Amino acid sequence: MTRVLLIDRHQLLIDSLSQWLLLNAPEIRVLAGACSWTPGSRMPQGGGAGKADVAVVGELHENEAPNLAAIVSSLRASGTQVVLLADQQPVTAINSALDAGALAIAPKSADPVHTAAAIRAAASGRRYLHPDIKGLLESAAGRRVELSVRERRLVELYLGPTPRGVREVAELLAISQQTVKSHLHRVRQRYAAAGFNVGNIISLQDQLRKDGWLS
């Protein structure tokens, strides 16, 4: 028996998926549903079960969505595997959820048979990516963000083998510090638009290396 917690802002989804699983996947037992979830929230107790084996995370409220990775990390820290229903999430959010420990992903709009398959896989410690999700991630990974000559020189100075601060980069390129910051901001925006999570310097540096812009 696989014990499941459903998390989605829409009670209708929780009710309909619970009913479908009851009728079509009797080995999957829904312990509880929650329309809101924050990192560190406790699993509702009941039915003689200590906790869920798998949490299915669907659409979150606007104030919770930016914390998706933290929510996944919190659930994993409690020993619960995570399935993500990913219709509304951009590629960056999906990658962040995977990095945080989500094990299986299926579109929310897909036939529930895929959600059941994802739950079974996660419960046994196996990764499951719906073909649409896999194609989306592969497409994003195959895109190389192009940089201008000025941007290439700037990131090489800022994040290359001998990293320099914004002030020194500005002096070497004879531009203002604000211009340096603006260029770096635009580079991050371009990567974000292409589906890459480069929210910090380390992730940006890693992606620039993968694209060949840093030695």
CATH number for the domain spanning 159: value is 1.10.10
What amino acid occupies position 198?
A: V
Question: 8 and 93 share a domain?
Answer: yes
Residue 184's domain comprises: 149-210
In sequence order, what are the residues at sequence separation of 6 or more whose Cβ sits closer than 8 angstroms to the Cβ of residue 102?
Answer: 57, 72, 82, 83, 84
Residue 215 lies in a domain: no
State mean pLDDT over 38-57.
Answer: 72
Work out the mean pLDDT of the chain and round it to a whole number.
Answer: 88
Question: 87 and 187 share a domain?
Answer: no
Q: What is the pLDDT of residue 48?
A: 40
Burial 52-68 (b: 16+ CB within 10 A, else e): bbbbbbbbbeeebeeeb
What amino acid occupies position 125?
A: G
Question: 29 and 67 share a domain?
Answer: yes
Question: 137 and 156 share a domain?
Answer: no
Residue 69 lies in a domain: yes
Question: 82 and 165 share a domain?
Answer: no
Question: 78 and 135 share a domain?
Answer: yes
Percent of the chain topping pLDDT 70: 93
Structural domains of the chain, count? 2
Contacts 24+ apart (CB under 8 A), 159-162: 159/201, 159/204, 159/205, 159/208, 159/214, 160/214, 160/215, 161/215
More confident residue, 46 or 154: 154
Question: 74 and 125 share a domain?
Answer: yes
Residue 184 lies in a domain: yes
Question: 172 and 137 share a domain?
Answer: no
Question: 91 and 197 share a domain?
Answer: no
The answer to whether residue 17 scores a pLDDT higher than 50 is: yes
> Over the stretch 92-151, which tens digit does the pLDDT of each residue have?
788 888 988 999 999 999 999 999 999 999 999 999 999 999 988 887 666 678 888 899
The predicted model scores a pTM of 0.68
What amino acid occupies position 16?
A: S
Question: 136 and 30 share a domain?
Answer: yes
Residue 141: name the closest of 189, 100, 194 by CA: 194
Residue 47 lies in a domain: yes
Select from 116, 141, 166 the last residue of a domain. 141
Compute the distance between CA of residue 41 and CA of residue 82 in angstroms, rounded to an integer: 15
Question: 118 and 159 share a domain?
Answer: no
Residue 82: name the closest of 92, 65, 68 by CA: 68
Select from 141, 163, 182 the last residue of a domain. 141
Select from 110, 141, 172 the last residue of a domain. 141
Supply the CATH number for residue 10's domain: 3.40.50.2300
